Amino acid sequence: MTARTMARFHRQPTEHTDWCTRDHRCGINEHRSADLITDAGSGRAVITRVRAGNTEYAEIRARIPLHSTETGARWQITATLRLMRELLAAVAVRPGVLRGRTERPAIDRRAG
Ligand SMILES: [Zn+2]
């Protein structure tokens, strides 16, 4: 019989957030919101806000029924990938974006 050494992970528990579900969806150091669901056609997208340690992110899952033809399915997958790239570029945190978050100069600006 050989002895095996099991690695032990020591994670520090973190407090629940104002937005997490405070139930089985939260782990010792990961907190998750309720799912936010949107439907379009026969597809569905789900966004979950997650805090893992000191990092927060939006987890996105989507179910997109694919066309029955290979050409159609490939077109859908290609379009999905292109649009996901555009989505990431549009909402990604860029240097300076969070710094002035409380300043909203466009709100008081008048058109004309
Ligand atoms: Zn939690």
Ligand 1 centroid to Cα of residue 9, in Å, is: 20
**How high is the pLDDT of residue 52?**
94
Sign of the torsion angle spanned by Cα atoms 46, 47, 51, 56: positive
Ligand 1 centroid to Cα of residue 75, in Å, is: 39
Ion ligand 1: residues, CB < 5 A? 16, 20, 26, 31
Helix (H) or strand (E) holding 37: strand 36-40
Question: Which pTM value belongs to this model?
Answer: 0.70
Residue 6, pLDDT > 80, answer no
- Over residues 48-104, the pLDDT tens digits come to 999 998 899 999 999 999 999 999 999 999 999 999 999 999 998 877 665 545 555
- Over residues 21-62, the pLDDT tens digits come to 999 999 988 999 999 999 999 999 999 999 998 899 999 999
The rounded distance, in Å, linking the Cα atoms of 40 and 63 is 10
**How high is the pLDDT of residue 54?**
87
Of 87, 90, 62, nearest to 76 by C-alpha is 62
Ligand 1 centroid to Cα of residue 25, in Å, is: 7
**How high is the pLDDT of residue 9?**
65
